[in-house]
Amino acid sequence: MTVENGHAVTKAEAVKVTNEAMVLPRKAPGKPTCPLITFDLPYMTFYYNQKLLLYKCGDEFGEAVERLKHGLAAALDFFYPLAGRLKQDGEKVVYVACEGEGEGLVGAEVIEAAAEGVSAVELAEGQNSPLLQELVPYTGVMNLEGFHRPLLAVQFTKLKDGLAIGAAFNHAILDGHSTWHFMSSWADLTRGSPAISLLPTHDRTVARSVRVPLSLPASALDHELADPNGPAKPLVARVFSFSQSTVDLIKSCANAGLPPDSKPLSTFQSLGAHMWRAVCRARALKPEDITVFVIFADCRSRVDPPMPDAFFGNLIQAIFTGTAAGLLLASPPGFGAGMLQQVIGAHNADAIVKRLAEYEAAPKLFHYSDAGMNCVAVGSSPRFKVYDVDFGFGKPERVRSGSNNKFDGMVYLYPGREGGKSIDVELTLQAEAMARLEKDEEFLVAKA
């Protein structure tokens, strides 16, 4: 039994672990340590980020795993912080030790498993079943456990017609942008590429160099028990797939009626408002209830000077806007989308530095409830080319998140497998609200 975001869960019998091992980099790291910076620290009490890729393939499982492990070792040469462990120095500043000390070997954990009673296609077409969650490692493992666990764990599971690749990344080490940079590079190396297309940069101090001492809880459970809002209620996750024509319709509705000199609302802003309004209805909020929208925004192009795409680490900040539910729902879709446009546009280099300085003056270990009242929070991005991650098996049948970091109102956006502008919305709500959402014609009509 393990703890999943504060709740006990039991291992499904359908997935059987057949082997566990460590994969080490092939050479010494470029630097012995990698400091964590202010952008990284807020995620210390989040959980490992889990990604699941489902592939159809006819390759012999053992041979495929050996290729994947060989490619992983090569990838860790370039992305060596993922092979390290978290440490604190004498001033309680957190960093990554990229070299082993004594018996504390570095490396990534690799788990081999089998679930031969189910196919990749069945899993890809289904919803968030318990079985899907058993295909990714480190469910319920908080990032602060990276002091004594690997910072990267992967699970290769044999399916009836292919395999599943589940990966768990310590979120204090990297954000979504860097996650998919690593995944695409690992895939290229597994296919036999002699090099990767974009070499990562590991000097995080070019983005922020302030040393921030951090007092950490004794355990993940201690941190969860300290949440002033108490334990989370049971949640349900669902995936809503929006075709390109549907996305275009949502965007057109949001932009309808705007003054001619207005800046057009983007796809993200339009879809964000569509989700926000629907979740408010699903929660049956009162008109006076405040609702908050949170965006985990990539700051690479926003900081001064801008950081390159190759910057490896966390370079995101949560930005917030909010309003009364009644006003949001009584107004046209462009109202909510406009609020998102405004808060995104205002998050410039000065705003980023102000937020960093505030955190450095009073470091905080966050709970999910800190996201805000009746929140909708959006992470990941449909711009990530997740369906281009080809390990030699072709395009994934489906890409999904694990159950970690899924709190009430959390949304992960992925590109739709059909391509174009299609988008998959992976949304988590309390059961009663999700039941209402699944019957909401205004939300689903656009999806149809």
| C-alpha gyration radius of the chain | 21
Give me the amino acid identity at 259.
P
Per annotation, catalytic residue among 248, 289, 309, 390: 390
Which stretches does DSSP call E strand in 116-234?
A: 152-159, 162-169
Give the whole-angstrom CA distance, residue 328 versus residue 280.
Answer: 9
Whole-angstrom Cα distance, residue 266 to residue 310?
A: 25
Residues 6+ apart with CB under 8 A from 171: 43, 46, 47, 48, 49, 143, 314, 405
Helical H segments across 373-414, by residue range? none
* C-alpha pair distances (Å), 70 with each of 170, 391, 429: 21, 12, 39
Integer CA distances (angstroms), 285 to 180, 433, 438, in order: 36, 10, 17
Chain-centroid distance of CA 414 in Å reads 10
392 phi-psi bin (left φ>0, alpha ψ -120 to 50, beta other): left
Q: Cα–chain-centroid distance for residue 272?
A: 17
Instruction: Answer yes or no: 203 catalytic.
Output: no
Token duo for residue 274: 């569509």
Q: Quote the CA–CA distance of 131 and 314 in Å, as a whole number.
A: 30
Is the peptide bond between 305 and the residue preceding it cis, with omega within 30 degrees of 0? yes
Give me the catalytic one of 40, 171, 188, 367: 171
Q: How many CB atoms are located within 10 Å of the residue 142 CB?
A: 26
Known catalytic residue: 171?
Answer: yes
Q: What does residue 64 show for φ and ψ, rounded to 5 degrees?
A: -60, -40
CA torsion angle 383 38 207 77 (round to 10): -70
| CA distances, 326 to each of 236, 315, 444 (Å) | 25, 34, 21
Q: Which residue has the tokens 């504060």?
A: 6
- Residue 190 and residue 394: Cα distance in Å, rounded? 12
Q: Which residues are catalytic?
A: 171, 390
